[in-house]
Amino acid sequence: MKLSAFGQKMTAESGITSLMDDLGNALASGEDMIMMGGGNPGHIPEIQARLQGILEDIANDPEALRRLVGVYDPPQGEKRFIASLVTLLNSEYDWGLTADNIALTNGSQAAFFMLFNMFGGEYGQGQRKHILLPLAPEYIGYADAGIGQDLFRAVRPEISFTDAHEFKYRVDFDKLEVTAETGAICVSRPTNPTGNVVTDSELSRLEALARAHDIPLIVDGAYGTPFPSLLFVDAAPHWNEQIILCLSLSKLGLPAARTGIVIADAPVIKALSGINAIMNLATGSFGAVLAEPLVRSGDILKLSRDVVCPFYKAKMERAVAVFTDAMGEDYQWYAHKPEGAMFLWLWFPGLPITSFELYQRLKHRGVLVVSGHYFFPGLPEDGWRHRQECLRVTYSQDDDRVAEGLRIIAEEVKAVWREYDQDCD
């Protein structure tokens, strides 16, 4: 089979396809794998009960059922959901939104594919622009989202140590360079994979850079504010016409509904809607119709703040305690300060093997994690050993299984060091 350059690019091995293949194959195999690799949200009883109640109401209402499954939405997305979201966000944050400022997509991944290729890549007449990632590591799903090659430029972060086994990445503004070849700036908040939250001050400086160069600042809020609010530190919701804010219903508890939300200046939304029509004809209605009552009542914010956030914060604290106890004090290791999302980002300085080799050893022992080397799009593959010393670990699933998986990770890391010490002797 002969493929075009696009076909070859999109069918090549990538981090996101490897991750999803691992998850799907593990679930289909029936093997007793501990699933700590993907970002599948946990199952929160109160959220599931609310969604079940809404589904029952829809099933008993022929008009609502028709909206759910029986009509095409416009390319911009389900109109009642958009109208309710405009009302809610203006009421809460006074953002001055209209329906022209919001579009829905079939999941956030689709939104970023469209946005990155709208603002990055070939511009004609020999001009080519990139997407600037001011803080690496960044989300694994960005890396291969460009139609062409080398879409991203990234900057190594500053690293500060915040506790005996804890560190934090910060944007290194001295090294951050926006040029005429920069099409947009993009940052996730909280950051997947590290749980880092770009501070309000850092976000303000990034916005000022974007404004000075007349390019958009894309903020990936899939785990963030105003919902689902997987935030364990203070972070203010922020939007204006310089910012493209991307939200999702997945981490609220609707990953299978594949509903991404883009809030942006009206011309961006018009362009995105046109691409939506070409790629998808229409966006799916399921997530929007199901979540609309929560948006209309404002409960989506209350549930995010009072149910979803505490659920994940408690899981994070248990996971950190288990891993700290399992690793002890005889080995050098750090976890990124867990400020949000649902991941521990583990760093083993001087690890004698690569993170991918450690991932393979853990997979053999029945624990699925993600090798850290996938999370550095836009940085050269060599020259920074740090990218080969990290793992992303999800703590969203059953606490006992997560604890078992973390203990196995600790055992395997210690075994690697023991083997290395023996070889050195």
Among 11-25, 193-207, 252-266, 399-413, which stretch is predicted with the lowest mean pLDDT? 11-25
Q: What percent of the chain has pLDDT over 70?
A: 94
CA distance 326 to 312: 21
> What is the pLDDT, as a whole number, of residue 143?
86
Residue 239 included in any domain: yes
> What is the pLDDT, as a whole number, of residue 21?
65
Decide which of 232, 267, 300 is a domain's last residue: 300
In the predicted structure, residue 136 carries a pLDDT above the cut 90: yes
pLDDT tier, 144 (very low <50, low <70, confident <90, very high otherwise): confident
Q: DSSP assignment of 280-342, as one string?
A: HSS--SHHHHHHHHHHHHTHHHHHIIIIIHHHHHHHHHHHHHHHHHHH-SSS--EEE---BTT
pLDDT tier, 2 (very low <50, low <70, confident <90, very high otherwise): confident
Residue 149 included in any domain: yes
Same domain for 296 and 308, yes or no, is no
> What is the pLDDT, as a whole number, of residue 417?
92
In the predicted structure, residue 133 carries a pLDDT above the cut 90: yes
Question: In degrees rounded to 5, what are phi and psi of residue 288?
Answer: -65, -45
Residue 325 included in any domain: yes
Instruction: List pLDDT tens digits, range 329-378.
Output: 889 999 999 999 999 999 999 999 999 999 999 999 999 999 999 999 99
* Burial (CB count <10 Å: 0-12, 13-18, 19+), residue 72: exposed
Same domain for 193 and 336, yes or no, is no
In the predicted structure, residue 16 carries a pLDDT above the cut 80: no
pLDDT tier, 10 (very low <50, low <70, confident <90, very high otherwise): confident
Same domain for 237 and 188, yes or no, is yes
Taking CA atoms, 387 is separated from 57, 133, 195, 348, 390, in Å, by 49, 16, 16, 10, 6
Instruction: List pLDDT tens digits, range 190-245.
Output: 999 999 999 999 999 999 999 999 999 999 999 999 999 999 999 999 999 999 99
Same domain for 78 and 205, yes or no, is yes
Residue 350 included in any domain: yes
Give the CATH number, domain containing residue 205. 3.40.640.10
Q: Quick one: average pLDDT of 80-106?
A: 97
Same domain for 59 and 139, yes or no, is yes
Same domain for 158 and 269, yes or no, is yes
Which pairing describes strands 343-347 and 166-170: parallel, antiparallel, or unpaired? unpaired
Question: In degrees rounded to 5, what are phi and psi of residue 6?
Answer: -60, -45
> What is the pLDDT, as a whole number, of residue 419?
87
Residue 424 included in any domain: no
Position of tokens 């001295």? 174
> What is the pLDDT, as a whole number, of residue 389?
97
> What is the pLDDT, as a whole number, of residue 26?
54
Same domain for 145 and 209, yes or no, is yes
CB atoms within 10 A of CB 359: 24
> What is the pLDDT, as a whole number, of residue 118?
95
Residue 256 included in any domain: yes
> What is the pLDDT, as a whole number, of residue 310?
97
* Burial (CB count <10 Å: 0-12, 13-18, 19+), residue 270: middle
Q: What percent of the chain has pLDDT over 90?
A: 80
Number of domains composing the chain: 2
Decide which of 300, 318, 337 is a domain's last residue: 300
Written as six digits, the tokens of 397 are 């699933």
In the predicted structure, residue 421 carries a pLDDT above the cut 80: no
> What is the pLDDT, as a whole number, of residue 145?
86
> What is the pLDDT, as a whole number, of residue 288?
95
What is the extent of the structural domain holding 402? 5-46+303-418
pTM: 0.93
> What is the pLDDT, as a whole number, of residue 179?
96
Written as six digits, the tokens of 197 are 């939250």
CA distance 325 to 267: 52
Same domain for 163 and 284, yes or no, is yes
Decide which of 300, 335, 360 is a domain's last residue: 300
Same domain for 310 and 227, yes or no, is no
Residue 423 included in any domain: no
Give the CATH number, domain containing residue 364. 3.90.1150.10
> What is the pLDDT, as a whole number, of residue 423?
67
Q: What is the DSSP letter of 91?
A: H
Residue 372 included in any domain: yes
In the predicted structure, residue 424 carries a pLDDT above the cut 70: no
Please name the residues in contact with 60: beta carbons below 8 A apart, sequence gap of 6 or more: none
Q: Quick one: average pLDDT of 235-256?
A: 95
Same domain for 109 and 62, yes or no, is yes
pLDDT tier, 249 (very low <50, low <70, confident <90, very high otherwise): very high
> What is the pLDDT, as a whole number, of residue 205?
97
> What is the pLDDT, as a whole number, of residue 276?
92
> What is the pLDDT, as a whole number, of residue 23?
58
Written as six digits, the tokens of 177 are 């360079």
pLDDT tier, 425 (very low <50, low <70, confident <90, very high otherwise): low
CA distance 413 to 111: 37
Same domain for 230 and 279, yes or no, is yes
Bigger pLDDT: 33 or 317? 317
Same domain for 278 and 311, yes or no, is no
